[in-house]
Structure 1
């Protein structure tokens, strides 16, 4: 059985640990934002093209813009990718103004990845699209290391609520040998004038409120319990 002195020392250590607990989520009563991110698995094959699957439901998703280094792969790209489509159709298109190199790695057209290159024809630079034949072309685009904690949690759980924007938003990442794309699906801003919420109507707005309240209560509970244990420990020492 622990002596009174040892018990008070143990309570003091536990109390201090609760007061400085690095895992406490913090107080969230001021101006800030709550973000919701989702992750989807991404694969690519010559026969099926880019394939995106929702991690939570396992269902196929409409093609998303999986990474900024892959263009023309998302919805509504017909207009902004007119130049690339013209090159793909074999039209006589000059590369003037591209600075010699495209600012992306791949172009996705007709379920196929192409690598943009610049060729010289008749003393003029022209863009060319070369079909990608690599067995694993996504490795050239994907971020393979240094994932944030929020990104890893989003991949593990399929979705996550965070207080900060993820640097991996709209980025193809490689984790445990698989490819994923992370994308924002909701954000709620809090301020002195009230709050504003933007989401797909999936209950995120109320979930954001619950997260702030729960995290704040957990933090307060840790601090109050820690302070109480420290005070009790010192009183025990005085009585010993």
Structure 2
């Protein structure tokens, strides 16, 4: 006579989250990113780093804390790891997505006349800077065909100020043999409206660059909700 206890039928059942993962991947394959809300797209990223756990709650927690998918991806690693359940592996997967987005956006403007693809320039700058937690001042250096030579962050400051030195901007342009530049910085507050200091600093750079044959095409200010163009506002 067998002494084996009857099986309930649940011992070998797959964890419930595995079916959820399959369904989510299927929806993504069929409908793309637009078929998923922010937290579900974030779940797909977390699957690779956290293979044996339901991550829906964790994804929702990250969205609540940082505000959106884009803001989670752009968040500093130290802040991401303050969220319970997020470890280095998850941070690596999240930052890989950020790096891929930046590389793709930069590829859209590389070796092309920048002024002919202005919307892509703005998209690239927003991808790189819109959700940074500190001000960054970067310069796009262009050749005589207005193709991108280099993209460099010159200074990183505080939440509301970045020191900028016109002589250093011009010196670097000369080193790269650039004939034109586009100035870009972000406002972590989210509001892209230029301050009086932004306008004065831009004018000083224009005055220093012009005698040396370097044209300042624009100064873009990037915010979470949009951007401002000093040229578009008639301030250059």
Q: TM-score range by the shorter chain?
A: under 0.3
TM-score (norm 2): 0.23
Larger RCO (CA within 8 A; separation ≥ 6): 1
- Mark the structure with the bigger radius of gyration: 1
